Structure 1
Amino acid sequence: MGNKVIVSNRLDGAVLAILPKFIGDAINTLPALALLKQLYPTQRICVLVRPHLTEIFSRASQYGLEVISDDRHCRKKHRGLYGMASQLKHQNFALAVLFRGSLTDAVLARLAGIRNVIGYAQNARRPFLSHAFKLNQCHHYIYRYCKLVNDAHGRPFTHFSSPKLTAQPSTLTLSETQCNVALYLGGKVKGTRYYPEHLAIQVVQHISTIKNINIFLLGDNSEQSDMASLASLALSKGVTLHNLAGSMSLAELVDNIGAMDAVVSIDSGPMHIAAACEVSCVAIVGHGTSPWSLVAPKTDNLIALTHQSTSLNELDMIQDVSPENIYHALSSLLSKRR
């Protein structure tokens, strides 16, 4: 039996979207959330997000979303499954859309008393879904999120938009006469996506030859030591970098990326932020957590350098992307801005 089409103007109550746990995946739900807002223009659209992701949505105010911190994942004020369900139950949600494949999220929606629960039938959660759909693993993440909303409502849409974030003015001291470029090459915690230091320093040296260049290093707290080491190595070779690793909130990261002329990034959150802020980006693609075809940003301002490695060691694959190719790709993007 097929799913009964949800008629949006017959639903009385707020809409809850339970989002993925990673930065890039959360950003990639924005087009689907925009479709929900079109379907329910007068109702509250709430997003349940991991505490560390709440700041991202302060830069997505144009979507008209209300943010709820998923305190199941909060150390300071942790709520269990039943406590979180109780909090949600008081908000009169008529519909939940599950953008993660989690069984627990489906149980949470049901415990919260939500009658209409849309999701993909995976991880043994079909009995908890009122509208269960088969997941095509070949679909791009943005497409699969939008398809979930569209199919449940009778396919009223033919297209979706790309994700957009609105950066606020950066607190960095930037000169309009200089070319400002941010590098996110990852730390060792990134595993197979980490661009190793012996190659990263070559990237830095190549980029430093660009006239009036101003180079910033990005990274989170876990990458501070790796970025400090790279900055020190660069200084020993006569190149000064501005090391921002571990010094920014997620909202500040969006603002600082939004202020750049270009970004060079591995396949990770900063790449998706750059694309959503419409900042030119060179993506260094090694062996990722998902196939590149499923996560590649939908933008014309990105050059993806994918590896062609024949190595049987996944850690070595990203090394097939040469510093010279990264430099030439960046130069190409910057030339379009002049």
Structure 2
Amino acid sequence: MPKKVIEPSNISGPILVILPRFIGDAINSLPAIELLNDLYPGKKIYLLIRPYMREVLQRAEGYDFELIEDARYHSRERTGLYSFAKTLKVLRFSMAVLLRGSFKDAALTKLAGIRNVIGYAQNGRRPLLSHPLKLNECHHYIFRYCRLVNDTHGKPLDSFSLPRLKANDIELTHGAPQATAVYIGGKNKATRHYPVHLAANALAKIAAQTSTHLYLLGDSSEYTDTEELLQLLAAQNITATNLAGKTSLGELVDIIAAMDTMITIDSGPMHIAAACNVPTLALVGLGTSPFSLVAPLTSQCQAITSHSTSLDEAEIICAIKPEYLAERYLNLFK
């Protein structure tokens, strides 16, 4: 716990929270926002986000915040650090919570004249923080974010709630009894990508024993991989819908929420499914972080982990056999 405990009564102005840059991490930060809502009822809390995140966070359910798009990352008219700091300074923030370990974000808060700045003392930014905490790398990401709020306020809260997204209702294009979203990533996901031929094998086994319609998800860079999967399924007379590159992030949330179940790799869509309370199978190979630190804490998400002994990192996820994936899928409905 930091030496100086923050008293909510001493925070007169609005609060700035700088969110992580990835969708899954941003979703995992929502419990920390809820803790701030509990400690500062009625106070304005602004989330500084990458512009592409807006549609996802507009679907956050039961939180009180306003969104500010980070002008440093606008695709067309980017603003520099000093210019954007002047923009933030006008809002007269009393406190900032840094949920990223970025040195530039810490510098941004100081240039914006924010007196109370909470964050983890990493990447040489301790002198820029009024309330630095030492990072425990064993903590789950949600715990890390919540700790920044709770510890600096004297640990007044005992627990946190899981992230929640409320999607817009949509009508699916196919009237099958069940709907299953599938996200295996593309080659751009490197070691997290579940190979197309293995996915096709597993989905064929699932289709033979269920009446589910498959919705293949991905972004525009993953369209080729997803189209290859679609063709392998079509060769076995299995109908599926390829939505890769055809949805906005907000629409992606709506589609996932409309599913009966989801098969996914460790990814942003996995965290969306968890926040929408959709039963999910997560295929876990070698990720960008240890899975135990980022895994959705809901029982609705079941991890299928690899037990590979391969020294080839790309082969680790391949140890998840299609037969086992299909078996686990069928068990979801038992």
TM range, smaller chain: over 0.9
Letter aligned with residue 141 of structure 1: Y
Q: Is the 1:303–1:329 Cα contact (8 Å) retained in structure 2?
A: no
Match of 1:93, SS state, is coil
* Aligned 1:204-219 pairs, distance under 5 A: 204-219=203-218
- Corresponding position of 2:264: 265
Deviation at 1:2, TM superposition (A): 4.3
Letter aligned with residue 291 of structure 1: P
Q: Is the 1:286–1:307 Cα contact (8 Å) retained in structure 2?
A: yes
- Corresponding position of 1:142: 142
- Corresponding position of 2:330: 331
- After superposition, the C-alpha distances for 1:229-267 in whole angstroms (9 at most, x for unaligned) are 111121122111110100111111111000000000000
**Cα distance in 2, alignment partners of residues 31 and 174 from structure 1:** 35
Q: Is the 1:49–1:69 Cα contact (8 Å) retained in structure 2?
A: yes
Match of 1:63, SS state, is coil
Q: Is the 1:271–1:283 Cα contact (8 Å) retained in structure 2?
A: yes
Deviation at 1:76, TM superposition (A): 1.3
Deviation at 1:77, TM superposition (A): 2.0
Q: Is the 1:180–1:260 Cα contact (8 Å) retained in structure 2?
A: yes
**Cα distance in 1, alignment partners of residues 209 and 40 from structure 2:** 49
* Aligned 1:100-179 pairs, distance under 5 A: 100-175=100-175, 178-179=177-178
Q: Is the 2:2–2:151 Cα contact (8 Å) retained in structure 1?
A: no
Q: CA 1:2–1:269 in structure 2 vs 1: closer, same or farther (change >3 Å)?
A: closer
Deviation at 1:174, TM superposition (A): 4.7
**Cα distance in 2, alignment partners of residues 69 and 174 from structure 1:** 36
Letter aligned with residue 138 of structure 2: C
Q: Is the 2:2–2:133 Cα contact (8 Å) retained in structure 1?
A: no
Match of 2:316, SS state, is helix
Q: Is the 2:183–2:265 Cα contact (8 Å) retained in structure 1?
A: yes
Deviation at 1:126, TM superposition (A): 0.3
Ranges of 4+ aligned residues in structure 1 off by more than 4 Å? none
Q: CA 1:267–1:183 in structure 2 vs 1: closer, same or farther (change >3 Å)?
A: same
Q: Is the 1:183–1:264 Cα contact (8 Å) retained in structure 2?
A: yes
Matched, 1:33 2:33: yes
TM-score by length of 2: 0.98
Letter aligned with residue 237 of structure 1: Q
**Cα distance in 1, alignment partners of residues 265 and 41 from structure 2:** 37
Q: CA 1:105–1:4 in structure 2 vs 1: closer, same or farther (change >3 Å)?
A: same
**Cα distance in 2, alignment partners of residues 306 and 219 from structure 1:** 22
**Cα distance in 1, alignment partners of residues 64 and 292 from structure 2:** 29
Deviation at 1:211, TM superposition (A): 2.7
Letter aligned with residue 114 of structure 1: I
Match of 2:77, SS state, is coil
Match of 2:15, SS state, is strand
Deviation at 1:61, TM superposition (A): 4.5
Deviation at 1:3, TM superposition (A): 2.7
Deviation at 1:132, TM superposition (A): 0.2
Match of 1:100, SS state, is coil
Bigger drift between 19-28 and 58-67 goes to: 58-67
- Corresponding position of 2:81: 81
Deviation at 1:173, TM superposition (A): 2.6
* Aligned 1:235-246 pairs, distance under 5 A: 235-246=234-245
- Corresponding position of 1:99: 99
Matched, 1:62 2:62: yes
Q: Is the 1:261–1:334 Cα contact (8 Å) retained in structure 2?
A: no
**Cα distance in 2, alignment partners of residues 139 and 332 from structure 1:** 31
Stretches of structure 2 lacking an aligned partner (at least 5 in a row): none
CA RMSD across the alignment: 1.2
Stretches of structure 1 lacking an aligned partner (at least 5 in a row): none
**Cα distance in 1, alignment partners of residues 291 and 96 from structure 2:** 29
**Cα distance in 2, alignment partners of residues 65 and 174 from structure 1:** 36
- Corresponding position of 1:185: 184
TM-score by length of 1: 0.97
Letter aligned with residue 159 of structure 1: S
The number of residues matched between the two structures is 334
Deviation at 1:9, TM superposition (A): 1.9
% identical aligned pairs: 51
- Corresponding position of 1:277: 276
- Corresponding position of 1:255: 254
Q: Is the 1:17–1:99 Cα contact (8 Å) retained in structure 2?
A: yes
Q: CA 1:13–1:112 in structure 2 vs 1: closer, same or farther (change >3 Å)?
A: same
Q: Is the 1:185–1:195 Cα contact (8 Å) retained in structure 2?
A: yes
Deviation at 1:334, TM superposition (A): 2.4
Deviation at 1:73, TM superposition (A): 1.1
**Cα distance in 1, alignment partners of residues 252 and 77 from structure 2:** 25
**Cα distance in 2, alignment partners of residues 140 and 188 from structure 1:** 27
Matched, 1:317 2:316: yes
Letter aligned with residue 280 of structure 1: P
